[in-house]
Amino acid sequence: MRAVTDGKLQLSDTIRGHLDLCLDCRSCETACPSGVQYGRLIEPFRVAMHRDESQPGKAKSGGWFERLFLYGLFPYPKRMRWTLLPARLMQTLGVDRLIDAIGLTRLLPTKLRRMNRLLPRLQPPGEAFPEVLPAIGERRARVALFTGCVAEAMFGQTNRATARVLQQNGCEVVIPPAQVCCGAIHYHNGAGEPALELATANANAFPVDDLDAVIINVAGCGSMLKDYGHMAEEIAPQNDAVRQQLSGFADKVRDVSEFLAELGLRPPTGKIPLRAVYHDACHLCHAQQIRSQPRELLQAVPGLEVVPLAESEICCGAAGSYNLTEPEMSDRLAERKLQNIVAADVEAVITGNAGCSLQIQASLKQAGTNVRVYHPMDILDWSYRNESPPTV
């Protein structure tokens, strides 16, 4: 990147290829003894690459998939829910298994075939959130819940579990209806201006001055939200008002595990008799340096046995949309993660990121295992409600 910036290297297809292969997992930030924040270098560089491509005479790297899915579908939970209706119906009727068995999915374009493979077992859509959920017992905090886009469409039950866990811990939970996608899909792929527009919309939607925290339960989104101020400095350096607004918003963002560990967890009482491993999502352990807090919360759940996972901090290959745009490298990482999970001999994998959940459950399903993938808030919610995890 320095060589390109200094004019010593041309931004050729070979150089672009090396930069595109970066997972943006940010494990280099954990490893670097000088504390270089690599993620805050690669993102603006990709934005600059994107701007360069937009100049007359430049070849465009984005295609139909980026326009239709990455930018046109994934950031919009309502569109996602409508698009997933046929898949939900086929899963209910068992048609999806028949289609897989006779190999019809092989007729799909490669990226659509991979999207189909990543599709989880869709749960019934939850009831619409009210704008405010009351605290249970003494009110200890007033927080807002960031529900996300893909997370809300595919893992809406985890958002509702998160809200219930926060309520159980004395939090009044605000769910702003005007919130939008965090912008990570755009920013990671070099579309800076659309990402900034989404960030500004979120900053306007959340009453941060009246909140103790903005809570997020997806590691990738949380990392993006916490970087809003830095993104504004890179994309809108002359706009002081936007930079101050986004920095103020970012200062209030907390991962749910981080927040509950700081607040002090009210101990759950229901037994969850599971042997599980905890997988560190890259954007939680490397980008946000959150490692011990989720494990501390899980230790409070009666009956839950969390055993060590070899190479827990190694990326599973999801990396946002990386598993769709760089399938070969993604699959190599997924296989490595799968072998470590199988070696641990467990019934469940627990992780705090939607992308990791999709990637790992797809690998486990393809390998023919019965290992389930859950979010830490799913586990806590079942324990508070004295319920057992679903078996299907």
Q: Which two tokens stand for residue 283?
A: 């954007």
Q: What is the pLDDT of residue 72?
A: 79
* pLDDT-wise least confident of 164-168, 190-194, 318-322: 318-322
Average pLDDT over residues 329-348: 94
Give the model confidence (pLDDT) of 181-222 as tens digits. Answer: 999 888 887 788 899 999 999 999 999 999 999 999 999 999
Integer Cα distance of 18 and 9 in angstroms? 13
Per-residue pLDDT at 328 exceeds 60: yes
Domain with CATH 3.40.50.10700 in the chain: 268-385
In terms of DSSP bridges, do strands 305-307 and 275-279 run parallel, antiparallel, or are they unpaired?
A: parallel
Q: How confident is the model at residue 107 (pLDDT cuts 50, 70, 90)?
A: low
Give the model confidence (pLDDT) of 8-67 as tens digits. Answer: 888 788 887 787 788 778 888 888 888 888 777 777 777 777 666 654 444 344 566 677
Give the model confidence (pLDDT) of 331-340 as tens digits. Answer: 899 999 999 9
Q: Which two tokens stand for residue 330?
A: 């993604």
Q: What is the pLDDT of residue 59?
A: 38
Domain with CATH 1.20.1050 in the chain: 132-261
With beta carbons less than 8 A apart as the criterion, state whether 241 and 118 touch: no
Q: What percent of the chain has pLDDT over 90?
A: 54
Given the candidates 1.20.1050, 1.10.3470, 2.60.40, 1.10.760, the CATH classification of the domain at 132-261 is: 1.20.1050
Residues 6+ apart with CB under 8 A from 316: 279, 333, 334, 337, 356, 359, 360, 363
Total-model pTM? 0.88
CATH class, range 268-385: alpha beta
Average pLDDT over residues 95-101: 70
